[in-house]
Chain A
Amino acid sequence: MTSDTDLDRLLQDYLQAGPAELSDRVLWAARAQISTTRRRGRLDRLAPWREFHMTQSTRLLLVGGGGLALVVAIAAGLFSPLLGQRTPGPGASQMASPSVRASVAAPSASASASASAVAVATPAPTFRAPIVARIEATDLTAAWTVSAPSLWTPALAPDGRIWVPSNASDQIRIYDQTGKLVEKWGSTGSGDGQFTFGAAGASRNGAGVVFAPDGSFFVLDSGNFRVQHFSPDRKFLGAFGRFGSDPGQFASAVAIGLDDGGNLYVSDEGRHDVQVFTTGGTYVRTIAEGAAGDGVWGSGPGWFITTRLTDGEAGAIEYHADGTVQGGWDLRPWSCEPSGVTRDEAPRNIYLTCPSRDGGTGYAFRFDQTGTLLRVWRINGAGIAVTPDGTAAFVVSDDGTTMSRYNLGAPEGG
C-alpha cells in the first residue's frame, strides 16, 4: 500500500513537468477575439429579477390557443414596459452568430416576431447508436413504496430527504429515507412562495425542484409559468418567467435541471425546447428545439441531458449549454418512452428512466459519464432521483401515484 507521504511526493514530482510558457500564437488569437467580444455588464448580476406574474384569469385567456396569439403579441408589445418584460442579457446576443439565429418554436409567427432575443437553431439530432440489449435487464424489488396523487419528479435535498411535488395539492411532499412523510410544504396560489403545479387550461404541466450547491433551491412552478428561488431556509428570493413563447417565457414547462457550471435548464413541452438561464434568472438562450422531454438534468459543467420523445424517436440527448449536440442514446429498441434523467455525484453515472409505452415493461438505465451502458433494471418509473453515491434511486411511477425506493447496489465505476 502506497503511503500518504509517498503519494504526495510522487504527485509533486509528477506535476512539476510541463510547459514553461504560453505560446505567442495563443495570446495573439485571444487578443484578436477580445477585440470583437462584447463585455458583460455589471447590471447583469445586480439587476433585480423579480418579474411580473400574470393573474390567473389573464393566463387562462392566453392559454386558450393559437388563435389568440395575436393578443399575446399585442399585449406583450403594448404592456411590456409596464410589466417589466425581460430582455435577454447582453451576453445572449453575442452567443450566436447571425447565420445561426432563428426564432423559437412559437405558436404563431406573429407572436415570435415580437421576440427580441436570440435562439440557437439546433439541428434535430439523429440517433446513430441504438442501444442493443447486450446487458440483461434485472428485476429490482422496491425497498419501500409510498402512495400519493399526481407526483412529479423527486429531488434529493442536501439533508437526504426526498422532495417530490404533487400536482394534486400544489405542495411539495417531503419524505425521509425510510419513506416516512415528514412534511407537506407550500400552498396553492400565485403569490411569492405559493405554487400552481397543474394549471387548468395548459395542456400539460410538470413540477420539479432542484437544489443548488449553496443549499438554495429552485421550484418549477409550471402553472404560474415561472421558476421560484428559495434560500436554504425556504425564504422566497425571487422568481422569473411568465407565460408566452418569447425567450425566457414558459408554456408548458415540465422539468428543471441545474449543471455544475451554474446553468439552469427548463424543459418545456409546450414550446418543445429547453431554455437556459443563469441561477440569477437571466435568460441565456434556447436550445434543443423539438427535443424537449419529461426530464432534463445537468450532466456536467455546462452539459445537460434531456429525454426526447418526438415523432416516434425515443431517446435522450446530451447537449452543451451552447447548443452543441454531443450525442445520445437511442432507446427505440426498448419500446419505452424516456422520461426521467439524473446523475449521481460520484462516480457521476447517469440514470434514465424509460416507462413502458403500452403497459408492458419499463426500464431504468445506468450509464457511465462517457455514455457506456452499465446496468438495466426493470423499473416502470418516470421521475427519478438518486443518492449522491448512486446506491439508491427514488422513482415516481409513470402514472404519478407512487414513489418507491430501489437499492441499486454500488455503482460499477465507484
Chain B
Amino acid sequence: MDRTLVELAIQGDEEAYAGLMAMAGDRLVAIAYRILRDLDVAEDAVQVALVNAWRDLPTLRDPDRFEAWLTRILVRACYAEAGRSRRWNARLRVLPIDTPSPSDPMATVADRDRLDRGFRRLPTDQRAIVVLHHYLGWSQPEIAHALEIPIGTVKSRLFYATRALRAAIDADDRATSAERPA
C-alpha cells in the first residue's frame, strides 16, 4: 500500500483515500465474501468498513500498518453484518443457519459442498480466523496482532473451527455411508 497516500489520507485528503479504497476494494470484498458467504452482505460490510476506516484514520499511528489495520476494521464490520442477518429481530425469531435438507442426496455431495455447509455453520469470528489463516496465509501471531486479540484466542477459534469442519465432513461421510445400499 502506498505510504504517501496513507499519510495524505490521515491528514484528511479525500482523493488520496479514494485511491486507497480503489486499491484495497477488491481485496476487501474477497475477504468479506469468504467470511460471510453472501456477496450482498459482503459488499455492505466493505462499505461500512471503508467509511469507518476513514472516520478512524487519524488514530492510525503507523501508516505501514494500514493494510492490517483496515483488515481488522473489515473483520469487525463482517461481525456486525453477520449479526444483523444472524440475530432474530424484535418481531421474528429466525434462525438463519443453513442446514442440509434431509432429502439431500448425500451420497452425491462433493467434498466442497460438505465443507461449505460446515463452514456456514461456524460462528463468524471463527470463519474470520479461518479465512485470514487459510486464504490470506497469515500466521497465528500475525492474525492476533492484526485483530488485536490474544494469540490464545486465535488458536482456540482455529481449533474449534477445524474441529467443527472436520466433524461436518466426517458426519456427512457417515451419513452417506449409512444411506448407501449394502
Residues of A within 8 A of B (CB): 1-2, 7-8, 10-15, 18-23, 25-27, 29-31, 33-35, 37-42, 44-45, 91, 125-126, 128-129, 213-214, 260-261, 300-303, 318, 320, 325-328, 345-348, 369-372
| 8 Å CB contact of B33 from A7, A19, A41, A303 | A19
Bound together, the chains give a CA A39 to CA B58 distance in angstroms of: 7
With A15-B134, A18-B34, A213-B153 in contact, do A35 and B14 touch (Cβ < 8 Å)?
Answer: yes
Bound together, the chains give a CA A347 to CA B17 distance in angstroms of: 39
- Are B14 and A34 in contact (CB-based, < 8 A)? yes
With A7-B169, A327-B87 in contact, do A300 and B79 touch (Cβ < 8 Å)?
Answer: yes
With A15-B131, A370-B88 in contact, do A301 and B79 touch (Cβ < 8 Å)?
Answer: yes
Bound together, the chains give a CA A303 to CA B160 distance in angstroms of: 22
- Are B25 and A2 in contact (CB-based, < 8 A)? no
B95 located at the interface, meaning its Cβ lies under 8 Å from any Cβ of chain A in the complex: yes
| 8 Å CB contact of B30 from A7, A19, A35, A42 | A19
Chain B residues 109-160 with CB under 8 Å of chain A are 111-112, 115-116, 119, 123, 125, 130-131, 134-135, 149-150, 153, 156, 160
- Are B59 and A42 in contact (CB-based, < 8 A)? yes
- Are B83 and A2 in contact (CB-based, < 8 A)? no
Which chain B residues lie closer than 8 Å to A260 at the CB level? 79, 125
> Chain A: which residue is nearest B75 at the CB level?
A301
> Chain B: which residue is nearest A318 at the CB level?
B87
Contacting chain A: which of B46-54, B62-70, B99-107?
Answer: B46-54
Q: How far is the CB of A212 from chain B (nearest CB, A)?
A: 10
> Chain A: which residue is nearest B45 at the CB level?
A26
With A14-B116, A18-B33 in contact, do A33 and B90 touch (Cβ < 8 Å)?
Answer: no
Bound together, the chains give a CA A300 to CA B85 distance in angstroms of: 14
B26 located at the interface, meaning its Cβ lies under 8 Å from any Cβ of chain A in the complex: yes
Which 6 pairs across A and B sit closest by C-beta, in order of nearness? A22-B25, A30-B50, A301-B79, A22-B29, A15-B135, A327-B88
Chain B residues 1-34 with CB under 8 Å of chain A are 12, 14, 17-18, 21-22, 25-26, 28-30, 33-34
> Chain A: which residue is nearest B167 at the CB level?
A2
- Are B59 and A30 in contact (CB-based, < 8 A)? no
| 8 Å CB contact of A15 from B26, B34, B92, B93 | B34
- Are B83 and A302 in contact (CB-based, < 8 A)? yes
Which chain B residues lie closer than 8 Å to A303 at the CB level? 83, 87
Which chain B residues lie closer than 8 Å to A325 at the CB level? 90
Bound together, the chains give a CA A300 to CA B83 distance in angstroms of: 8
With A18-B34, A318-B87 in contact, do A27 and B22 touch (Cβ < 8 Å)?
Answer: yes
With A11-B165, A318-B87 in contact, do A22 and B134 touch (Cβ < 8 Å)?
Answer: no
Bound together, the chains give a CA A124 to CA B164 distance in angstroms of: 39
B180 located at the interface, meaning its Cβ lies under 8 Å from any Cβ of chain A in the complex: no
| 8 Å CB contact of B130 from A11, A30, A128 | A11
Q: Can you name 13 extra interface pairs (CB under 8 A) apart from A21-B25, A129-B93? A: A2-B166, A7-B166, A15-B34, A21-B29, A31-B14, A39-B54, A42-B59, A302-B83, A320-B80, A327-B90, A346-B156, A370-B93, A371-B88
Bound together, the chains give a CA A218 to CA B59 distance in angstroms of: 23
Bound together, the chains give a CA A349 to CA B149 distance in angstroms of: 20
Bound together, the chains give a CA A19 to CA B135 distance in angstroms of: 14
Which chain A residues lie closer than 8 Å to B95 at the CB level? 370, 372
